[in-house]
Structure 1
């Protein structure tokens, strides 16, 4: 029997060893920062061709990995593998403390905080507590060092005026006023963030695609689109999300809660933004206007799609036949031609159609 080849290539940076020179050379690029693969669209460089290929999908909208059960597509194979667990029920990550199992590792990590979390930390001595009530009981020990502390959140202060300024957050006092629109705020930094709505300032830019944001947490959430990170998950079905508010909205699909209703026609919605967009149908408001032709739109997403009719941009490309589209939904409909899917069916005669508009037209043959 042939003996396995001895690993002869040694990385002095991290002590990894390799049996092939090509694997060693590829690994060393990570340490040396050598990035020989440029993106032809945005100019960003990557150390591996596979990383460039994955990045390019953020421009093309390509999702080559498709679920064989529900036809949902993904840009990364790992995301498809995680998604498949929804259908198979597989939960490979289990808690050693209580035995509860999860579909994703980040779900298990979040769960483990129940057993190990001591996130309520004393800012004076660093002692951690699992409950804020325990931290509040601990704080009087430091009264000589910091005689003023907030009984609500346990923040400590050496001067009374510092604590009074802090308490505005809890008492809802709002002494800072916007000179443009008159809105009031409890803290100066909140006013500073608000003013960006008027100035259009967006100081936080994405290094991958160049999108800019007025808030740092908005950039953090956006970057997860590129990395595939989804730290927030539904504890009922295991579906993962990039933002916490997305989980809150998703949970209503289980509870059937629709808390936002239109005051004009009574239509109910899961999200406030959906209700707000709907209301514009009644008011005729079109706050998003095209700078080229002046046409107005009720939603910003509709304006972005419209602008592509002027620029000719077609960012969504079919990976099967290379046909390009300016709108993602048109690509989705197009892909059904390849898969043979006809998701819209007539409840009267059972005929199926590729597009909903075709079904709507057909239904008139039954209703007259």
Structure 2
């Protein structure tokens, strides 16, 4: 019995063989003949559609015997189990780092190769991982989907929101093992540790000065090129640092944000308030090494030292 002729409802072509007809129909469905009735997603295999349907039903038939976590796919359960066993079968041939998943190894290898296959169409910036490109795009779109429920501030990254929340909670999870100082962010702790180790990894190519932080090096470089990018809109004075411009603006506004809780005196800079406080505490931290006299401010000690210099001159 001859095969029944079949017509394509899309383009009208006719086929005598069922296999040829089905193959042709996939050219219209892009090789994905199995469609989801809920969202319209299509798949090449029926088994893929079946797994996809679990995202709508919420079914997670594969459960971990250790902690009870459940997953839609058996492969996801298999990867999860490695978090209990500590198994990391995928190793880097360059540095020996090991990973639970092959895709994590491939992402890691790009650190050594320098490959950044995911590029921004707007500015050309490139990234090793696709998930890093997506947050970058928000710089151009201005999208800030992560909002603080306390003050309403919004952020491009969820990590930035979590860091911000610590300003409300006061949480400082990163502690120094030397002096027990604590910080909200890990990078701030790493910078602090350099005050104990003396490490200054950022060096000036002009004069050789070194700094603990890169931003301090950048500020220092402006002393060589005499660049003063921060200008006062009131009088035109320019400054190498934005913080210096901010302090300068207080001379125009009269603002004195740092107040003494004892007498109410206010100051433009925090360091001036700290210098003022020993008046109330009686503390005299600046001590003369020659006669032992102590002073509230370092400037007073310097003036005192001139008397010893004059005495030495008279004796000679």
What does 1:94-243 correspond to in 2, within 5 Å? Answer: 124-125=48-49, 126-127=52-53, 129=55, 134-136=58-60, 152-155=70-73, 163=75, 167-168=78-79, 170-172=81-83, 173-198=87-112, 213-243=127-157
The farther-off stretch of 265-274 and 180-189 is 180-189
TM-score (norm 1): 0.50
What is the deviation of 1:188? Answer: 3.8
Q: Distance between the aligned counterparts of 1:212 and 1:320, measured in 2?
A: 40
Q: Deviations over 1:285-307 (max 9, x none)?
A: 23333344443332333333333
Structure-2 separation of matches of 1:207 and 1:308: 32
Alignment of 1:5-16 (within 5 A): none
Unaligned runs of 5+ residues in structure 2 are 1-37, 63-68, 284-295, 297-316
The separation in 1 between residues aligned to 2:119 and 2:225, in whole angstroms, is 23
* 1:244 shift after superposition: 0.6
**Matched residues in 1 for 2:217 and 2:117: separation?**
23
Could you tell me how far 1:277 is from its partner in structure 2?
1.9
Partner of 1:257: 171
Q: CA deviation at 1:232?
A: 0.5
Give the alignment's Cα RMSD to 1 decimal: 3.9
> What does residue range 257-336 of structure 1 map to in structure 2 within 5 Å?
257-336=171-250
Residues 10-45 of structure 1, C-alpha deviations (whole Å, 9 max, x = no match): xxxxxxxxxxxxxxxxxxxxxxxxxxxxxxxxxxxx
Q: Confirm or deny: 8 A CA contact 1:169 1:187 kept in the other structure.
A: no
Q: CA–CA distance in 2 between the matches of 1:325 and 1:217? A: 38
Contact 2:82-2:100 within 8 A present in 1 as well: no
**Change over 3 Å in CA distance of 1:226–1:329 after alignment to 2:** farther
TM-score of the two chains, using structure 2 as the length reference: 0.57
2: CA distance between counterparts of 1:186 and 1:205?
Answer: 27
Q: CA deviation at 1:245?
A: 0.9
> Larger RCO: Structure 1 or Structure 2 (Cα < 8 Å, ≥ 6 residues apart)?
1
Q: Is 238-247 or 185-194 further displaced after alignment?
A: 185-194
Aligned residue-pair number: 229
Q: Which has the larger radius of gyration?
A: 2
| CA shift for structure 1 position 315 | 4.2
Residue 238 of structure 1 and its aligned partner are, at CA, apart by: 2.1
> For 2:94 and 2:226, how far apart are their aligned partners in 1?
37
Using the TM superposition, give the Cα deviation of residue 338 of structure 1 relative to its aligned residue in structure 2, in angstroms.
3.5
Partners of 2:176 and 2:234 lie apart in 1 by 43
Deviation, 1:365, is: 4.9
Deviation of the 1:336 alpha carbon = 3.1
CA distance in 2, matches of 1:337, 1:316: 16
